[in-house]
C-alpha cells in the first residue's frame, strides 16, 4: 500500500528522511482493527519524528501520522483516536499511562491507505463533517480542548492569550475559546496570520513579546522558549500557563520569584482522552465549530505537503487524502 514514512532519521534535514512509496499493509493484532484511511492530517510531530525525536532507528521504517478519518471494518465512518495506552491503571486517563504512545512512535501511523488501531480507539465521525475536517481533530484539536477546558479551566468572560497563531493547536484554541465566549488575544510574527486569527475569533492580535492591554487568565503556550517568558509575564496572579509544545526550543529559563509571588500555575498537557474527544465533538456540534483547512494534497504528493508544514507558511491543518 502507499504510505509516507520515515526511512531514516536526520535532525538537520528532516525532509531528506521522508519517503513516499509502497510498504506492507499493517497487520491487526488481537483486539485491533484496520481502517481504510480517507484523510490524514499532518502535525509537527511528524517533523520531529523525522528528526529522531521520539522515534528510534530500531523502529524504522515507520509510517508517519497521528491523525486519520476513514472507514471502519463494519463500513462505518470513524475518526481514529491516536493515543495508544491503558487508562485502567491511571484513573481512566490513557495519556498518563507511562507506556502510552501515539501512532507513528511504536505502531505504524496514519499517513497511509490503511492503519490498524485498537478497536476501542474508533470514534464515530459526525455526519456533517468532511473527511478532511474530521482528520484534523485527533491531535491539534483534542490537545487544544484539553488545554482550555481541563487544564486551564477557562470560563465564559475570561481572557486568554494564545501564543503562535497559525499552528494547529493555536488555531484550534482560538476557535474553541471563541465558541465558549472566552475573549481571545493571540500573537504571531506574521501580519497575515494575525489577520486570519482575528477572522477566526481573536479579539486582538499582537507581535510576539508585545505589551498587552492587561493580564490574562490563562495562556495557551505552544511555542516554547521564544515566548515562554512573555507568557509568564502576561498572566494574572493565580493564573495558568498551559504548555503543550516547544517548536522554538524545549529548554527555557523560569523566573521563580514571579512564579511563587504571583502564585502562578504552569501545567503540561499532552493530547486527551477518548472521553474528552467525545465531549469536544459534542461541543463543536453545539457551537457549529469547524476546523479550518490550510490545504489538501493527495497522499502520493506527500512530500510538498511536508515541505509546506516545515516552511511554516500554514494556517489551519494540512491534510493528505486517499
Contact 240, 152 (CB under 8 A): yes
pLDDT confidence of residue 15: 97
The tens digit of pLDDT for each residue in 241-253 reads 999 976 666 667 7
Tell me the mean pLDDT in the region 182-192: 95
Does residue 6 carry a pLDDT above 70?
yes
Q: Name the β-bridge partners of 219.
A: 161, 241
- Cα–Cα nearest to 93, from 151, 44, 40: 151
Find the radius of gyration of the CA atoms of the chain: 19
pLDDT over 70, % of the chain: 98
Tell me the mean pLDDT in the region 60-66: 97
Beta-carbon contacts of 30 under 8 Å, excluding residues fewer than 6 positions away, are none
pLDDT confidence of residue 234: 95
| Domains in the chain with CATH codes | 2-136+291-321 (3.90.180.10), 141-268 (3.90.180.10)
Assigned C-alpha cell, 31? 483486539
pLDDT confidence of residue 228: 86
Task: Mean pLDDT check: name the lowest of 25-34, 54-63, 147-156, 256-265.
Answer: 256-265
Could you give the angle at the alpha carbon of 94 between the alpha carbons of 89 and 97, nearest 5°?
60
Assigned C-alpha cell, 154? 477557562
pLDDT confidence of residue 246: 65
Tell me the mean pLDDT in the region 278-306: 96
**CA dihedral defined by 112, 279, 92, 95, rounded to 10 degrees?**
50
pLDDT confidence of residue 226: 81
The tens digit of pLDDT for each residue in 94-136 reads 999 999 999 999 999 999 999 999 999 999 999 999 999 999 9
Task: Mean pLDDT check: name the lowest of 51-65, 66-80, 113-127, 255-269.
Answer: 255-269
The tens digit of pLDDT for each residue in 253-266 reads 778 888 888 999 99
Rounded CA separation 293/68 (Å):
14
Rounded CA separation 218/197 (Å):
18
Beta-carbon contacts of 91 under 8 Å, excluding residues fewer than 6 positions away, are none
Tell me the mean pLDDT in the region 142-171: 95
Does residue 43 carry a pLDDT above 70?
yes
Contact 110, 134 (CB under 8 A): no
- Cα–Cα nearest to 65, from 38, 103, 24: 103
CB burial of 135-157 (b: ≥16 within 10 Å; e: otherwise) equals bbbbbbbbbbbbbbbbbbebeee
The tens digit of pLDDT for each residue in 192-225 reads 999 999 999 999 999 999 999 999 999 999 887 7
Amino acid at each position: 500500500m502507499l504510505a509516507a514514512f520515515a526511512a531514516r532519521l536526520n535532525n538537520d534535514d528532516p525532509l531528506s528522511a521522508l519517503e513516499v512509496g509502497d510498504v506492507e499493509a499493517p497487520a491487526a493484532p488481537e483486539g485491533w482493527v484496520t481502517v481504510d484511511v480517507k484523510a490524514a492530517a499532518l502535525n509537527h510531530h511528524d517533523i520531529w519524528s523525522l528528526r529522531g525525536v521520539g522515534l528510534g532507528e530500531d523502529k524504522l521504517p515507520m509510517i508517519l501520522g497521528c491523525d486519520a478519518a476513514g472507514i471502519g471494518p463494519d463500513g462505518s465512518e470513524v475518526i481514529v483516536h491516536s493515543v495508544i495506552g491503558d487508562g485502567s491503571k491511571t484513573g481512566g486517563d490513557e495519556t498518563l499511562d507511562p507506556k502510552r504512545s501515539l501512532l507513528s512512535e511504536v505502531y505504524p501511523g496514519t499517513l497511509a491507505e490503511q492503519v490498524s488501531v485498537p478497536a476501542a480507539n474508533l470514534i464515530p465521525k459526525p455526519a456533517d463533517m468532511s473527511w478532511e475536517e474530521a482528520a484534523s481533530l485527533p491531535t491539534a484539536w483534542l490537545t487544544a480542548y484539553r488545554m482550555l477546558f481541563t487544564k486551564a479551566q477557562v470560563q465564559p468572560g475570561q481572557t486568554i492569550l494564545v501564543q503562535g497563531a497559525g499552528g494547529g493547536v493555536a488555531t484550534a484554541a482560538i476557535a474553541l475559546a471563541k465558541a465558549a465566549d472566552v475573549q481571545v488575544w493571540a500573537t504571531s510574527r506574521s501580519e497575515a496570520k494575525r489577520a486570519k486569527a482575528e477572522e477566526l475569533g481573536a479579539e486582538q492580535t499582537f507581535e510576539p513579546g508585545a505589551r498587552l492591554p492587561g493580564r490574562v487568565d490563562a495562556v495557551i503556550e505552544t511555542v516554547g522558549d521564544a515566548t515562554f517568558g512573555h507568557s509568564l509575564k502576561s498572566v494574572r496572579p493565580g493564573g495558568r500557563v498551559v504548555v503543550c509544545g516547544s517548536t522554538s526550543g524545549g529548554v527555557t529559563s523560569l523566573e521563580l520569584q514571579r512564579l511563587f509571588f504571583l502564585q502562578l500555575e504552569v501545567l503540561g498537557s499532552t493530547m486527551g482522552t477518548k472521553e474528552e474527544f467525545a465531549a469536544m465533538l459534542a461541543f463543536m456540534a453545539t457551537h457549529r465549530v469547524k476546523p479550518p483547512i490550510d490545504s489538501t494534497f493527495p497522499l502520493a504528493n506527500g512530500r510538498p505537503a511536508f515541505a509546506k508544514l516545515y516552511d511554516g507558511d500554514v494556517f489551519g491543518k494540512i491534510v493528505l487524502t486517499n
